[in-house]
Structure 1
């Protein structure tokens, strides 16, 4: 048998690199997330029906724990698509049209800052398009065909195209700053806001978790298990695994996926658009796991009615995978 020695040497070198790599320090992370109400095993395909997101993180600046003014900084950029359906989408959908069909496609660069006291701020700009050019109809049709799910009727009535830009900001205050070294429970209070012609709203809420988790500046909760240098901070464990619960209240001022394009005349918004309910409650809970290269998340979200004449509440599941690297 003829042996390819060059290939053998290459494989040995690659193996050595992989085994020599420090599995606790990575500079970058990429995550893929899918939201879908089909994950609730009820196959309703209503309201927020499907979301697909690809996100890249890069560590910009590491934190100095001994300096209370030090801030860890992370840059991220996200590409996302969201699809919305009314309560009914069979051949008789016009008799039960409580919100419009809509697709949203966007890109969102963001910055995250994490202080030595584990408070977290986030700033972002979301730019994209709502309407047929977001390809919501095409993606949902493919998804349902690939997984043999019921057919959707009514996408031809979706809201018309409008480009948008949104500014987003949030601040997360660490409520339990003087806890023991290896806590089993943690809590944040947060406030968030979005301003633009796609979404204008404000939210307040809590982020609660229990289990094995790291400090905020090196936790999967904030995409911060990455760092710029190979200098290690002390890890509580070599992994994170915890359950989270995040209730929040949102005040809606404008929601283009319900009301149509902000800068369009009513007659040009689309076949059907509707008003909004100003106050919306939602909560999310789930399981997060992170170790070395990998992140895995399974979650569930419940949300009250967003549209003025919405027939029912909505809920959906979330699955996320992440991979960290240098």
Structure 2
């Protein structure tokens, strides 16, 4: 009986592995925008694996399932913060695993469901990672992690929706090279409770834009027919300003389950955020860079809005 179980397991893994799939890495860092930036959301690292689902029998043209693991690191205005009075934002680390499902519909509609589980606090390993990285590259010593947000279990669920609001690209020839979409997201859980909305515009730098169920913008570049990768490439700019309402942020306010964090701040609920970048895809490779702005997050006399850069590299297996 055990032998049959192993055979079933191996068969399942082989079937799973035969699906069109992609692996990739996302690296966020404030130093990607300026060598003088090193504050607030200071580093993020994610690894992902996504695969194409079976042909849809519903209205969706394509379904992609994705798994991620990642870590986010947050600092006050300076990592030289041994003095608690220097803090204008708490030190915090977030370690998580994520599963998401993305559905792509006709007329460039996109619907995503995302679920995360993890931890904020010393168990995230953020202190060890940042201190080790600074030591490795000869950067200055990090001080102040003893005041970080204390242990908080993380359970998050999010829904994202996007739809094209510009006319169909097939109505007028000149509209092949640009489009505008309206995007909205709601994120609820023990770490963040947020809602955001804003437009997203794409401008092609080479050839016509791909429809959303073929575009890398939302991770839809996987195809059932591998020959499609040779015939389909992308190079485009995009911009996405948004208005966000943040009801709760454990990395600033501390855990909703206790009040043991030594440094916390009241939240500034309304924020303006923006993202602009460039994406390029050719054959099996996909690359992107984005410049990100986040509005002021907490209420005090020191903290301000901040910038960071994001680099992503993906490879279709």
Q: TM tier, shorter chain? A: 0.7 to 0.9
Tell me, what secondary structure is at the counterpart of 1:133?
helix
Counterparts of 1:93 and 1:28, CA distance in 2: 48
Residue equivalent to 2:279? 288
RMSD: 2.2
State the Cα distance separating 1:92 from its structure 2 match. Answer: 5.3
Unaligned runs of 5+ in 2: 1-18
**Structure 1, 97-106 or 306-315: larger mean CA deviation:** 306-315
Residue equivalent to 1:160? 150
Residue equivalent to 1:115? 105
Residue equivalent to 1:274? 265
Q: Of the two, which has the highest radius of gyration?
A: 1
Q: What does 1:39-50 align with in structure 2 at a 5 Å threshold?
A: 39-50=32-43
1:118–1:217 Cα contact (<8 Å) kept = yes
Match of 1:84 among 52, 74, 78: 74
Match of 2:220 among 203, 221, 224: 224
Match of 1:126 among 116, 130, 133: 116
TM-score, normalised relative to structure 1? 0.84
Residue equivalent to 1:6? none
1:194–1:202 Cα contact (<8 Å) kept = yes
Residue equivalent to 1:210? 203
Change (3 A) 1:193 1:103: same
Residue equivalent to 1:238? 232
Q: What does 1:162-201 align with in structure 2 at a 5 Å threshold?
A: 162-180=152-170, 183-201=176-194
Match of 2:96 among 103, 106, 111: 106
State the Cα distance separating 1:93 from its structure 2 match. Answer: 4.0
State the Cα distance separating 1:31 from its structure 2 match. Answer: 1.2
Match of 1:315 among 296, 307, 313: 307
Counterparts of 1:70 and 1:103, CA distance in 2: 37
State the number of aligned residues: 293
2:81–2:87 Cα contact (<8 Å) kept = no
Deviating above 6 A after TM superposition, structure 1's stretches of 4 or more consecutive aligned residues are none
State the Cα distance separating 1:71 from its structure 2 match. Answer: 3.1
Counterparts of 1:236 and 1:179, CA distance in 2: 23
Residue equivalent to 1:250? 244
- Is it true that 1:141 corresponds to 2:166 in the alignment? no
Unaligned runs of 5+ in 1: 1-25
Match of 1:29 among 9, 22, 26: 22
Counterparts of 2:161 and 2:230, CA distance in 1: 25
Change (3 A) 1:230 1:89: closer
